[in-house]
Amino acid sequence: MAKKYDVIIVGAGPAGFMAARTAGENGLDVALLDKKKDVTSFNRSGAQTLVSMTEPYMGNLVVLNPRDNRISLSPNGLSLKYDGPYRNLYAWAFHAPSGHPVRLGVADEGRETGEIARVGVVIDKEVLLQNMLEEVKAVSVDVFPGISVDRVTPTAEGVIVEGSGQSFEGTYCIAADGVNSGIAEMLGFNEDRYYWCNLNVTSHYMSGVDADPNTVITSSGYLDDGKVLFFMAPRPYEGEFNVQVLSIDPRVNLKKAMDHFLTTGFTGEWFKNAKKLRSMSAICSCYDPIEESFKDNVLVIADAASTQEIENIGALMCGWRAGSAVSAAVRERNLKLRKMTGISTYTNWWKEAFCDSYDHEAYMKNWILTFVLTKAERMSFAFGLLDAPLRANFNPYTAGKIMGAKMATLQPVIAQERPDIWLELVRLRWPLKEVYSEVTRISKPISDGPIAPKARGYPGTSREAWVKSLGRFLKEKK
């Protein structure tokens, strides 16, 4: 007879590994499934960072402790091994197409102050996954690589998970299968979610790049076939950088866009002596978050339930919380308790710590500025007004607000000197779904499972309705 597990976890990323380790530590019989044959390999575009080290992230402060090779989160007390290389990040610079930087922090000042000033840390994610594999094996977790899950069937007593010719029976299932979660799609979690777009990414690891080794760099490109974003972060290895080009517009040729930044853009100066070491890509579907993340004995966590990616720190928190919640739920069932609260400890925390605490539309604004400021010259003018460094920050939910607050103080100047730019900037006050509407219309969600017909975008509040609410001046200009 096949072994029945207390919990089957699908997805061996930081969230899945942490859920498996936590459940294993609590004595549960755990199966961890992943579609990769080598569960510790990292083969998709990603920044590989620990974010927000100068402010709480989902209620916790992040600590990298190189003395003892630990990553820890306080006050919740989560701690895990990381014995790989790392590099401190002291600033995040947003460059206009002209090259003018808007700086959140100054790297030279951060280096002088030391590690307490770091806004984030770059790690090697493959080393992190190797450390986590060691930890789950130490608590008797059964790891099954090369399993592509294609069916999840709730039963009266639990759930059956099938894939790659194998079947697994468990009391609970944790879906930690990533931003394009097949399980969320299969079980209908996506049916009521608003689909925004796909984030399309191509990236290179490169050496010989002439850039600051402790600064994350972002810029924008206005190309013939659409708008793109440029993102570059140092690697934890001396002289290496992770260079990415991203777009939410499916019509954009990302290879040509990468060539633009490596050669003809103002960034080309940084890559004159650069060498490509490795290339990767990714496509991530962006939805509204899943608020009701548990049904039919399946708990959907981390990237699978968030708007896009919840960052490595968020994934670790979700995995730890989910593993603890399922451990409590299994214990409650075994004791035949009348009041079952184990799962709700996760679902309530998820709503409070993520859904209610972070504005997912503010996050989606990270990708849309080039659709608001429609010409490179206009963005360069607006960014050019920001000369003094802003507060150091490396948090995707906070950085845009810091820049937006400063830009708001400059609106009288922009309205006076460049009313054309002011009229475009006020589009940031439109219903965001309207700004995204064209991209949403021409995009299709990506999933490891079949696409639910309800998981589609809609035009949102009309532009006309928004214009009426703005007032007479904008109506006249329109």
Tell me phi and psi for residue 63, to 5 degrees.
-130, 130
Compute CA 182 distance to the chain's CA centroid, rounded to the nearest angstrom.
Answer: 17
Neighbour count for residue 83 (Cβ, 10 Å): 13
Give yes or no for a cis peptide into 97 (omega within 30° of 0): no
- The CATH number corresponding to 195-287 among 3.40.50.300, 3.30.460.20, 3.30.9.10, 3.40.50.720 equals 3.30.9.10
**In this structure, are residues 19 and 31 in contact, taking their beta carbons and an 8 Å threshold?**
no
Residues 274 and 241: their CA atoms lie apart, in Å, by: 10
Containing 392, the helix (H) or strand (E) segment is none
Q: What is the DSSP letter of 261?
A: I
**In this structure, are residues 195 and 287 in contact, taking their beta carbons and an 8 Å threshold?**
yes
Beta bridge partners of 192: none
**In this structure, are residues 64 and 409 in contact, taking their beta carbons and an 8 Å threshold?**
no
CATH topology of domain 1-44+124-194+288-358: FAD/NAD(P)-binding domain (3.50.50)
Residues 404 and 385: their CA atoms lie apart, in Å, by: 13
Closest CA to 102 of 214, 4, 220, 14: 220
Residues 99 and 117: their CA atoms lie apart, in Å, by: 25
**In this structure, are residues 228 and 218 in contact, taking their beta carbons and an 8 Å threshold?**
no
Residues 37 and 272: their CA atoms lie apart, in Å, by: 37
Return left, alpha or beta for 458; rule: phi > 0 is left, psi -120 to 50 is alpha, else beta.
beta
Neighbour count for residue 310 (Cβ, 10 Å): 26
**In this structure, are residues 378 and 40 in contact, taking their beta carbons and an 8 Å threshold?**
no
Q: What is the DSSP letter of 7?
A: E
- Overall residue count recorded for the chain in this entry: 478
- Cα-Cα-Cα-Cα torsion 62, 65, 69, 72, nearest 10 degrees, comes to -30
Please enumerate in sequence order all residues whose Cβ is within 8 A of that of 366, keeping only pairs 6 or more positions apart, or say none: 396, 400
- The domain segmentation of the chain, as residue ranges, is 1-44+124-194+288-358, 195-287
Residues 407 and 397: their CA atoms lie apart, in Å, by: 17
Please give the single-letter amino acid code of residue 145. Answer: P
Residuewise pLDDT in 10s, the chain (478 residues): 478 999 999 999 999 999 999 999 999 999 999 999 999 999 999 999 999 999 999 999 999 999 999 999 999 899 999 999 999 999 999 999 999 999 999 999 999 999 999 999 999 999 999 999 999 999 999 999 999 999 999 999 999 999 999 999 999 999 999 999 999 999 999 999 999 999 999 999 999 999 999 999 999 999 999 999 999 999 999 999 999 999 999 999 999 999 999 999 999 999 999 999 999 999 999 999 999 999 999 999 999 999 999 999 999 999 999 999 999 999 999 999 999 999 999 999 999 999 999 999 999 999 999 999 999 999 999 999 999 999 999 999 999 999 999 999 999 999 999 999 999 999 988 999 999 999 999 999 988 666 655 444 444 333 344 344 434 333 443 3
Q: Are strands 215-223 and 226-234 parallel, antiparallel or unpaired?
A: antiparallel
